[in-house]
A and B are shown apart, each in its own frame.
Chain A
Amino acid sequence: MSIQTTPVQTATDRRRVQFEGSLGDRIMRALCIGGSLIVGLALIDVVYQIVSGARPAISKLGLGFLVHTAWAPNLKHFGALPMLYGTGVVSAMALIIAVPVSLAIAIYLSMFAPKVVRAVVGPLVELLAAIPSVIVGFFGIIVLAPLIQKIEPGLHSALGFTGIFGSGQTTGLSIFTAGLLVTVMVIPIIASLSRDLFLSVPRELKDGAEALGATQWEVIRGVVFPTTFSGVSAAVMLGLGRALGEAIAVASVIGGGETISKSLFQPGNTLAARITIEIQYIENNLQRSALFYLAVILLAMSLTVNLLARAVARRYDVHRAVV
């Protein structure tokens, strides 16, 4: 999948005033405009619906919602902080692991892999993105969580002083497990986009660096990375957007915790996961509205990240349809 960098010049570039076209032309134009309007309106309506669904909760709970931790629907207490914390930690962990790994994969595929390997492994990495979250979550519950449960005591005894390695026992359903799953889901996005970006670095620049007696790594560090920096940043942001919105895989393994704890190996929750699980068990309208409030926060975060990615990408078109 290549990155579009220069759009083909279309007719309208050359002839701006021309639509005194035939009836057929005008109908087609109207249809296209109509379709576009529907899409634009749908997006606006999404925001409207989410916000209006949240309004009762916003007016009742206010901004305190963002800092409270209790979540008791029957008592009409709602606090988003554990979810904010969980979303933040899971996303951060995913990015911290995924970015170096994805860049390494992208470097390998663009610079070192023999042609045959590139042709096979490249699509395989992209296919990783196609695995549905529910299956990733399933895999997480059955395979990963027990594995984490087994190795956590070891990690705790070795690194427990840092505090993030928990209490020496865990069910395996934890923020850490969710973070690992999200990492796996984010890597293909960043890796594929970065690979294309690295491939687009002009041959002359790399030649120029090699002709100065630089090693491969020096060429990467001195020429490839700086040239593609803004594009890769945008790709990372798109990965972040994915991480923020991941619901079902996270919900499978995060354990539905209600509190914030320093240990990564305790259960937790994220915005998306909480909404997904709890929306099926609504006891009262305020609860539903509170979930919509969570969605407002999630929506705001996603849109911000997306807009940032766009702003950063500038000349790279990273919003590919397909990873």
Chain B
Amino acid sequence: MSDLSAFNPPPFDPTAPLTPSGNLRRRQFVSRMVVGGATTAAAAAVAVLGVVTYTVIHHGAGALSVGFLIHDPPQYGGPGGGIASAIVGSAIIVGLGAIIAVPLGVLCALYLVEFAGPRSRPGQVLQLAIDMMQGLPTIVVGLFILGLVVLPEHADSGFAASLTLALIMLPLIARTTQEVLRTVPQGLRDASDALGVDRWRAVLTVILPSAASGILTGTILAIARAAGETAPVLVVDGTFANKTTIDMFGHAVPNLPVLVWELIEQPTSSGLQRAWGAALVLLTLILIANIGARVLLARNRKRMGM
């Protein structure tokens, strides 16, 4: 048995030039292959984004015009017309959805951050509930509202769509609000406590305002997400007429994603052309919202020194 407390000399010649010795050449070849593969994958992802975006722009640009944006589709189908009704409709249902989701989401986040500690039972349950809600397939959310609202009322409605979208947006808003509230320095809370200020006043006048930009960002991103949802809205708000309308209770309201879907189904070339146009409008709005929100987020982070 060799003496295992004696040293071995180096298995290489230390005075040799600093070029790969032993199996290093092969190992570095493998490593370079991996790096190459990783770079290719990233390039491919960007390429896919580019291809999809380009396709939409290329096909949709032909349909775009001012008229396209401000006119309604023809009353009873057929060529021509625009998508104004869908744009307005989307804005309405998403807007109402946000009005429902934001207060609820912020309240939940406030509860989790300000009242429930990390180990509190109700807090953990609520956190679980929000996570589960975030993981719900959107079609299931649509069916929920179908059963809850649409079937009893025997009618699709824009309001049902708003409720659906609110449920989809809520966990996202709760999450981002939570993250933002967590970054508000504890010192702010301590200082206002030390000054004898009521907690609710501190929340309203100090904590929420400092979190406002983050909450806004989260809301914009949630709205962008909701604006593109098709399946659940199709289920509860699919049978809309081609007029701009704001009557959403009891009536179906047109909206962009479902309009795109329905136009795809139409085998006419003009229908397809309008589908591309609508898709382009939808994609543009969503990408602008996303990019804007991320810019806001980045600026916010820089300001907070993160």
Contact = CB atoms under 8 A, between A and B. Distances in A.
Looking at B107, B125, B140, the one whose CB has the most chain A CB atoms below 10 A away is B140
A32 B139 contact: no
Interface in B252-306: 257, 260-261, 264, 275-276, 279, 282-283, 286-287, 290-291, 294, 297, 306
A63 interface: no
A229 interface: no
Given A4-B182, A42-B167, A321-B176, A108 B230 contact: no
Contact of B110 (A32, A217, A252, A305): A32
B176 A322 contact: yes
B116 A138 contact: no
A32 B111 contact: yes
Chain A: interface size category: 35 or more
Contact of A50 (B56, B143, B200): B143
B252 to A, nearest CB: 12
Given A132-B282, A306-B132, A46 B231 contact: no
A247 B238 CA distance: 15
Contacts of A247: 137-139, 230-231
B294 A46 contact: no
Contacts of B140: 46, 50, 245, 295, 298-299, 302
B186 A29 contact: no
B231 A133 contact: yes
Given A25-B200, A50-B147, A321 B282 contact: no
A292 interface: yes
Where chain A touches its partner, the secondary structure class is: helix
B41 A127 contact: no
A46 B48 CA distance: 36
A128 B291 CA distance: 12
B41 A36 contact: no
A36 B111 contact: yes
Given A104-B41, A303-B135, A53 B189 contact: no
A322 B55 CA distance: 25
Interface stretch (A11-19, A76-84, A257-265): A11-19
A104 B38 contact: yes
A101 B43 CA distance: 11
B73 interface: no
Interface stretch (A117-125, A156-164, A199-207): A117-125
Contact of A321 (B39, B42, B218, B264): B218
Given A4-B182, A33-B115, A136-B52, 6 more contacts: A35-B108, A104-B42, A124-B49, A302-B137, A321-B222, A322-B172
29 contacts: A10-B186, A12-B114, A12-B117, A25-B198, A28-B203, A35-B103, A36-B107, A39-B170, A40-B129, A46-B141, A104-B38, A121-B45, A132-B230, A134-B282, A138-B275, A139-B56, A184-B48, A215-B24, A216-B31, A218-B27, A245-B140, A276-B231, A295-B143, A299-B136, A305-B135, A309-B135, A321-B173, A321-B218, A322-B176
Interface of A: 1-2, 4, 7-13, 16, 21-22, 24-25, 27-29, 31-36, 38-40, 42-43, 45-46, 49-50, 52-53, 101, 104-105, 107-109, 112-113, 121, 123-128, 130-139, 141-143, 184, 187-188, 191, 213, 215-218, 220, 238, 241, 244-245, 247-248, 251-252, 272, 275-276, 279-280, 291-292, 295, 298-299, 302-303, 305-307, 309-310, 319-322
